Amino acid sequence: MKLYLVTSNENKLKEVRLILPEGFDVESIEAIAPMKDIVEDAGTFFGNSLKKIEAYRDVGVPLLADDSGLVIESLGGFPGVNSARFMQNSHYSEKMQIILDRMVNEENRAARFVCAALFYDPSNSVLVGVEEQVEGIIARKQTGENGFGYDPIFVPQGYSQTFGVLGDSVKKELSHRGKAFRKLFSLVHLYTGK
């Protein structure tokens, strides 16, 4: 079954492909339709993920969407659903430094990555969704070159290094995206009977 991921973020596509079960193939929606400027103002990860699906519903192909972000407890959930838009035109190293500076005297380092993943089948208007998270802490400094976004400052629970250091194979097992899409694919599998 061929699925189209509504994203302009190549790293998401790469991570979803790493956990694809047999019988599924994922392509970016950009392969068949121009990328649209989707206003992600729903206020929740699920709501924004749904806006991505709605934007391409008329294309008539099976869709996937991922809305995700980093939620930091001591910053009241910041950057949360605004993870991509916070200082949008700045490099991630600057964005992460701002966060680290704001937390320099903060003992509560608790944080989580959240991913709301959706599947939509236009042939019968079936929509399947799951939300998953990975808990961890915000490191004291940026380390590692793997992954993307905020990975160099996020240390998953049970580990002492960031996703930026741990790399793809550990991240795919532990991450919000890995958990969400594994669950989503198993539900789609049940639904399609394939």
Binding interface with ligand ITT (CB under 6 A): 7-9, 12, 40, 66-70, 83-84, 113, 147-151, 175, 177
* Smallest distance, ligand ITT to C-beta of residue 168, A: 11
Min separation Cβ 112 and ligand ITT, Å: 11
**Which among 33, 28, 25, 32 is positioned nearest to 9, based on CA atoms?**
28
Which residue, 83 or 188, is less far from ligand ITT as judged by CB? 83
Closest residue to ligand ITT using C-beta atoms: 149
Q: Which long-range contacts (CB under 8 A, 24 or more apart) does 151-155 make?
A: 152/92, 152/93, 152/96, 153/96, 153/99, 153/100, 154/70, 154/111, 154/113
| Among candidate residues 119, 129, 138, the one with its CA nearest the CA of residue 45 | 129
CA distance 161 to 157: 10
Distance separating alpha carbons of residues 11 and 31, to the nearest angstrom:
16
Nearer to ligand ITT, 11 or 160 (CB): 11
Dist CA 32 CA 25 (whole Å)? 14
> CB of residue 22 vs ligand ITT: minimum separation in angstroms?
24
What is the spatial distance between Cα 120 and Cα 127, in angstroms, rounded to a whole number? 5
Alpha helix segments (H runs only) across the chain = 10-18, 45-56, 92-102, 163-166, 168-174, 176-192
Residue from 58, 67, 121, 151 carrying the catalytic annotation = 67
Measured from the CB atom, the residue of 92 and 189 that comes closer to ligand ITT is 92
Smaller CB separation from ligand ITT, 8 or 192: 8
Closest distance between ligand ITT and the C-beta of residue 70, in Å? Answer: 6
Is 67 one of the catalytic residues? yes
Q: Catalytic residue numbers?
A: 67
